[in-house]
Amino acid sequence: MKIAIIGAGNMGGAIARGLAKGTKINASDITVANPTDGKLDALKAFNPELNVTNSNQAAIDNVDAIVLAVKPWLIKSVLEDIRIDIKKQMIVSVASGITFADYCNILGESATIFRVIPNTAISLLESTTLIASHNASKEQEQLLLDLFNEMGLAMKIPESQMTAATALTSCGIAYVLKYIHAAVEAGVEMGIYPKDAQKMVAQSVKGAAELLLQNDTHPAIEIDKVTTPGGITIKGLNELEHAGFSSAIIRAMKASR
């Protein structure tokens, strides 16, 4: 399979690196297009087998899938400037807020389109990636899931859930980092060096996530395991609730829709 990625910014570059690290596609079958050379040079330095070009059209000629990794407001102009074979080529968009209806207005109803929303952890192959499809076969859907599962965890969802799920994953990673930042500051106030506090908190967050992912358990069950009667953990948890912690998280997620 050959893939073209239009846009070598943070997300396009991360996807190119992730695909090149994976086992499903050869780096030599990936072409990245960008109007300027700096980011393309960085990709070539990362893996010389990656193909790079300043021409979007040259990038998409003879590929099976076209990844659109440009800003949402550029999607229309990019699509209008290239010739796509909608009978043979899949469109994979990572632009948020652009719906299947928007794409069909440009490409026609028969186009095979995927909306894919990763988060910034994709650069470390730890993304939560949301995938919705239009006119795709089961085989094409599984292919996309396989590709992005190599870069973290990929989940297929209906387009109607995309906005809400983006708040949980793409925006949500920032809220997790906000908690880490605050916890590190607390550690510093209690006498721990900042770098040490950050490692402690980050590993604790990672461990908490792995408990849920690997054990398929519920947060409340894991919380109960560390909250002994009269202990220090329950005191801290109650302080969080007195300060409106759960409500603040819910409100933040809903505000991000």
Task: For residue 202, give the nearest of 183, 225, 221, 229 by alpha carbon.
Answer: 183
pLDDT at residue 84 greater than cutoff 90:
yes
> For the chain, how many structural domains are there in total?
2
Q: Are residues 205 and 80 in the same domain?
A: no
- pLDDT grade for 124, boundaries at 50, 70 and 90: confident
pLDDT, tens digit (0-9, with 9 covering 90-100), for 20-76:
998 999 999 999 999 999 999 999 999 999 999 999 999 999 999 999 999 999 999
Q: Which domain holds residue 137?
A: 3-157
Whether residues 99 and 176 share a domain: the answer is no
Residue 257 has pLDDT above 90, yes or no: no
Average pLDDT, the chain: 96
pLDDT of residue 120: 85
Region 156-163: mean pLDDT is 96
pLDDT-derived band at 152 (thresholds 50, 70, 90) equals very high
Residue 27 near residue 156 (C-beta atoms within 8 A): no
pLDDT of 38 reads: 96
Instruction: Check which CATH number belongs to the domain holding 64 and give it.
Output: 3.40.50.720
Cβ-based burial of 101 (10 A; exposed 0-12, middle 13-18, buried ≥19): exposed
Percent above pLDDT 90 for the chain: 95
Return the closest-CA partner of residue 31 out of 2, 11, 10, 74: 2
Give the predicted TM-score (pTM) of the model.
Answer: 0.90
26 with 147, same domain: the answer is: yes
